[in-house]
Amino acid sequence: MCGLNPGSSTSAAYLPKSVLARPNLTVLIDTRITRLVFDTSNPDEPRAVGVEMAQTADGKRYRVAASKEVILSAGSIGTPQILMASGVGPKDQLDTAGVEVLKESKHVGQNLFDHLLSCVVFRATESLDYLGTTSGSLLPLARWLTTGTGPLTSNLCEAAAFIRTDDTKLFEPNQVEDTTSGFSAPNLEIACAPLTFAQHGFRTAPPGEKAFTM
């Protein structure tokens, strides 16, 4: 990334140089938490007191102790994975994986929902499909590198709408659960991209074709 409008990211937004310079903050890169470390002096209420981590799958394990508390925030997939690797989760799944049960909890790793996506591609008179070719991307790349502007600043999903469908057949109780917050809450998202987006970008428009995707 160059210094001209490189966009944003979690690290850029939350960990600028002023934050990284704080004496009470240490950031480790290329490091994964393998499991939590618990104080089991009270078997009924084990307490997290640190973490075990490694930089490679077969590398050395290191432990870091917490002075006050351990905050586990690894996302909807990573958080339950770390908990279960630490022995916290459904007993049957831990037994299958050969993990000693520290605290049985049937809720860990459950109630996850897929974010379903279906793309419809329409022919268009103008699009950004030319960016998928070497010849078509050279000038936009040069423009972005020199001025930080142009089509390469696009995040691809340029517009979105959240709507509520009135088709009751989509959420029949015996087929799909309606997990929205209420009867007036949106249950569909329509996203728009000014180019062909199919198979998560692995399929491009035929040569010379222009399209947009919803």
Domain ranges of the chain: 31-104, 121-213
Token pair for residue 141?
């790349």
Could you report the per-residue pLDDT of 177-188, keeping only the tens digit for each? 777 888 888 888
> Are the beta carbons of 190 and 160 closer than 8 angstroms?
yes
How many other C-beta atoms are found inside a 10 Å radius of the C-beta of residue 86? 25
Q: How far apart are CA 209 and CA 204, in angstroms?
A: 10
Phi/psi region, residue 111 (left: phi>0; alpha: psi -120 to 50; beta: rest), is left
Could you report the per-residue pLDDT of 107-117, keeping only the tens digit for each? 999 988 777 88
Residues shown for the chain: 214
How far apart, in Å, are the Cα atoms of 182 and each of 75, 161, 164?
A: 25, 18, 10
| pLDDT computed for residue 52 by the predictor | 97
| pLDDT computed for residue 176 by the predictor | 67
Q: What is the DSSP string of the chain?
A: --SSS----HHHHH--HHHHT-TT----SS-EEEEEEEE-SSTTS-EEEEEEEESSTTS--EEEE-SS------HHHHHHHHHHHTTEE-HHHHHHHTPPPSEE-TTTT-S---------EEE-SS-SGGGGSHHHHHHHHHHHHHHS-SGGG--S--EEEEE----GGGG-TTT----SSSTTS--EEEEEBSS--BGGGTB-PPTT--EEE-
| pLDDT computed for residue 208 by the predictor | 80
pTM, 2 dp: 0.67
Q: What is the mean pLDDT of each run of 10 residues along the chain (214 residues)?
A: 59 88 93 95 92 93 94 94 96 95 93 82 89 87 90 85 80 68 86 84 80 88
> Are the beta carbons of 61 and 34 closer than 8 angstroms?
yes
Q: How far apart are CA 50 and CA 56, in angstroms?
A: 19
